[in-house]
Structure 1
């Protein structure tokens, strides 16, 4: 009897269902997923290598970009191998503690990513609106402090997540209708009152991603105002091109995340496979697009990449 209660309280394993309704197409869906993962690995590794090995790229924007790339490498590796294992080998089983660990890393790393996007927007704001003070404002000490604060915020604020889930009783089912473990997916399997858990998750989302996004919008509003005050048309176009690429990355990161968050809590009539696709996009697409967008639109990185490529070719 005690063993049965213990199993209900902490299931030994959960079973991931992948994308319900599209099981016959899992093998085909895995192809773009695998390509996205390989591109994310290759692009971010190249970006980290270029920034680390070229001293001319040891500037605030590139340092933050390097940290963003490392974060992207970790977050994509946290989810993709298990998703591909599910699609290719029907490996649905995931241990209870492994599921909680995956939830912690997915949410904490997503929060860290949001923080780095915010400081990169701040860096662009200082560079365009106050260029003469850029080096005195964003000193190495300030960069280190901001980076440490972003990482600590992600880990500290999200640490309660697995412990809150650990205290719940899971007696409905151990089937997770998703490709990976997700906080709200487990909340829906619990038999206890989860009102506090939902409120905490909602508050956390607004205090991290929601607040970051509003501050980013404010930064780019000031940036656009400063850009249109520039006397040279060429300078305006150059600034708009750089900021446009950065803002594109931000939209790709935030829009799917917000859609996934809202649909989990309020989108009862949204088809499950749509929600699951969007939830995968916000984790998989930014790590692939970030190095491509920043690399192509940043002259210093592009030139460094061509030098390394030509040298290797010879």
Structure 2
């Protein structure tokens, strides 16, 4: 069941010119500097503490994949979240995630690829420069935010493992730690959380493996230490705290499609012409714009139609929702 509650307060938006201010990056931590010297582009062992304290990242702004819209405040982004592993209310992830340990972290790469195995996070991302991209996040509950993500293009990581011709999809799995993630002790969903993309979607330049936001590592409530960002899809497609990436020949199961197949399809593309069975998707509420947020028209593919529409040419987007 999805819970919709208005934001109790409002935070001032930050101007685009302030997103990657030089001052954010002046005070580099010695450990991070050592990692960079070793050839790890912004990622190093110990870059996230076991307690989940955020650390500065070395990022490069990618203006090609950045919106001109002012981003939401750091407070908005880190206190109004859907992360059911920590609870159903928007404030639960920030309040209930302090015990979660995002380091050390390993990711298993499995399935239809020439190179598979278990990789420490810093090895998984080694050699990849971290980009900052300002993307719009649109939730199926009809609210949206603009977020300055920090991450690595998903395609760049996947290509390293040389997926075979059988790899038609890419599946993802979230960590299962009910002792640290109290929401997993409930039966609200079938745990662990799983998601998937068609491989051409995964290889699209917009798809991002995010490791941070606002030039810092991801807080626990936002999916530390590694999450998926596909900005033309609804937010539930952005699986968090990823521990497995699997190349598959068949369409993989996804958590919300398992839970409510009549409400949540595999593709999850933002489409204002296809209503959720319980509410309209024609308009959305912008978080941070007043107590209840300003209501604006929802854009096809969340405003990324020009970039991604070709992926779905000839498909019935009402049937494949």
TM-score tier (shorter):
under 0.3
Higher relative contact order by CA 8 Å / sep ≥ 6: 1 or 2?
1
TM-score (norm 1): 0.25
Higher percent of residues as strand: 2
Q: Larger % of helix: which?
A: 1
Q: TM-score, normalised by structure 2?
A: 0.25
